[in-house]
Amino acid sequence: LVHMQPKDEDEFVDMLWTMAQYDAGPIAIRYPRGVGPGVKPKETPRLLEIGKAEVVVEGADVALLGLGDMSPVAEAARRILEQEDGLSVALINPRWIKPLDTSLIEDYARRVKVICTLEDHVLHNGFGCGVMEHLGSCRIATPVVRIGWPDQFIEHGTIPILREKHGLTVEETVARVRAALRDAK
């Protein structure tokens, strides 16, 4: 199964186009709850390379992998870590839950002090687990901070309230990355 999650409406259209051209097996898009950020799709969709992440901003100290609708959270955390902590922070749009862009993940894990995955999904067996499992199989010991939902019943509520309650926020991301950096010293 090829599994992907778009960061915005434009990338969603590109993923639909990619799905329409793909005939090597099952392929799926993970839909977020709620509405997108309002990005207008381009006139002609483009074919995405299966399993290839997008490096939005290069960085040398921390890599933030903001999957799908967690991309804005990762971007805001990047700005804070750069401005307040003086860090060089990579921002990566992973796009693909399966297959992972393992070469990009390995490359950053060998260069940075901490990797942080952000996903609008349960942490147990999610995107971040896939990253950790791959790094473990490569014997790369870079700490991985995972931001996502706990593996429990999540009550009904608005997205901002639930994200605040369960730690899927910019503030929690920054705090957990800072803690991991302190522990890595």
Write the burial class of residue 158 (CB in 10 Å: 0-12 exposed, 13-18 middle, 19+ buried): exposed
Helices (H), strands (E): how many in the chain? 6, 8
Render pLDDT for 111-147 as a digit per residue (tens, 0 to 9).
999 999 999 999 999 999 999 999 999 999 999 999 9
CB 90 within 8 A of CB 112: yes
The model's pTM is 0.95
What distance, in Å, lies between the first and last C-alpha atoms of the chain?
39
Omega before 99 within 30 of 0, i.e. cis: yes
Tokens of 80: 């804070």
